Amino acid sequence: MDILNTLSKISKITNFSTTADYVTMRFMPGVLLVCSLIMTYKQYIKSPIVCYSSVPFTGNGLADYVENTCYLSKRFYNLLSSGAIEPLNHDNIYPWLPIILLLQTASLCLPKICWIFIGKRTDLCYLLTLCNEVNVKNSIHKFIDRIQAWNSCKYFLVGYLLTKLITILVYFTNILFLYHILFLQDASYPATIIKQLILGNTTTVPAPNSMFQSVVMCNTVVYHLSSINKVVSQCLLTWNAYYEKIYAIITFLLIISISLTILDLIKWLIYYMLKTIIILQYLQKSMVKDGAHFIADSISSNVYFLILMISSNINDVVAGEIVKGLYGNYKSKKKTSTEKLMIVNVTNDCCDV
């Protein structure tokens, strides 16, 4: 029951991310998982292959044996105009396409795991939950005290940037895998498939890709008593035409995800360069004019990033109140330190007298 309660609390945590993070950490793994489950159902429950042979042969279960042997064969063949068969340049991975997509889905979960355990995302989302519950002045001060006393705040920015880099690396690796292994180094093939899906132009058929070829030839050796027969069958890979469209769409979405992640990094870099201007705007809304020393002394990159995330996920009003509260704490500490310094100076003067 404790495990269920913990999972229930985590599922209700407020999201601590940007739009690009939502796409790369939730949308994309979800899309790939749905596609992989559909492919698994069609591949292993429906009929993935149908074979035809013009050579008459008999035997108990021989037709099923030939069909299953073709399904698991190491390599398929093409039928040449001369009537001979020519082996394809790549091994048969048609039975393993759903498993490959499941492994790709698992790889896209790595950035989120990094963000949870290295970037302390769960703790940050809890802070956002507290922000949503802020309704009085005392709650703001309690929240600010929680931020200043929170040790993880010193490292979560590094974790977030590391998550971004891992995201780019994982997504780029998946694109390279699709380009080299599935699309056989033909970058125009997925683009042509997407164009055909969008425009609905059935007259323009893309150049055939042997990895997703629907009709192939299969050479099966059948052993009988005192004889060995070679059966050449023409096989229809039922779902290959469907798979090529799925992988073309996935490739397109992977490229979009990498682009969004890079743009998000550029956005944070611009925000970092405009740190003083943005914090001063928050202070000016609170009628504070002397905030230069406060920004240099109290607003670290981690705290500044946290304020921007709160502004992005909740609103500017709460972020402004947090900046105002941090400024109040800074003024109180500065006043206290000044009074202590004056007391020390007075004491030293009395001792000199």
- Report pLDDT digits (tens) over 153-186: 566 777 788 889 999 999 999 999 999 999 999 8
- pLDDT for 344: 46
Print burial letters for 74-91: b (CB count within 10 Å at least 16), e (below 16): eebbbeeeeeeeeeeeee
Whether residues 44 and 76 share a domain: the answer is yes
Q: 202: which residues sit within 8 A by CB, 6+ positions away?
A: 196
Indicate whether 1 belongs to any domain.
no
Which pLDDT tens digit goes with each residue over 87-141? Answer: 998 899 999 999 999 999 999 998 888 877 776 565 666 666 666 665 545 566 6
Element (H, E) at 50: strand 49-52
Whether residues 81 and 129 share a domain: the answer is no
Whether residues 142 and 166 share a domain: the answer is no
The pair phi, psi for residue 93, each rounded to 5°, is -115, 15
Whether residues 283 and 269 share a domain: the answer is no
Whether residues 258 and 184 share a domain: the answer is yes
Indicate whether 170 belongs to any domain.
yes
pTM comes to 0.80
Indicate whether 5 belongs to any domain.
no
What's the CATH number where 195 sits? Answer: 1.20.1440
Query: CA 239 to CA 215: how far, in whole Å?
Result: 11
Which residue among 252, 273, 294 closes a domain?
Answer: 273
Whether residues 86 and 176 share a domain: the answer is yes
For the chain, the domain total comes to: 2
Indicate whether 250 belongs to any domain.
yes
Whether residues 37 and 164 share a domain: the answer is yes
Whether residues 91 and 174 share a domain: the answer is yes
Using alpha carbons, list the distances in angstroms from residue 299 to 239, 279, 291, 296, 326: 57, 9, 11, 6, 8
Whether residues 77 and 211 share a domain: the answer is yes
Indicate whether 177 belongs to any domain.
yes
- pLDDT for 271: 86
Which residue among 217, 243, 273 closes a domain?
Answer: 273
- The range of the structural domain enclosing residue 259 comes to 17-119+155-273
Pairing of strands 227-237, 215-224: antiparallel
Whether residues 251 and 300 share a domain: the answer is no
Indicate whether 11 belongs to any domain.
no
Low-confidence ranges of the chain (pLDDT < 50): 1, 3, 6-7, 9-14, 136, 344, 346, 349-351, 353
- CB 126, CB 306: distance < 8 Å: no
Whether residues 197 and 340 share a domain: the answer is no
Which residue among 211, 241, 273 closes a domain?
Answer: 273
- pLDDT for 273: 86
Indicate whether 6 belongs to any domain.
no
Whether residues 299 and 281 share a domain: the answer is yes
- pLDDT for 108: 93
Indicate whether 244 belongs to any domain.
yes
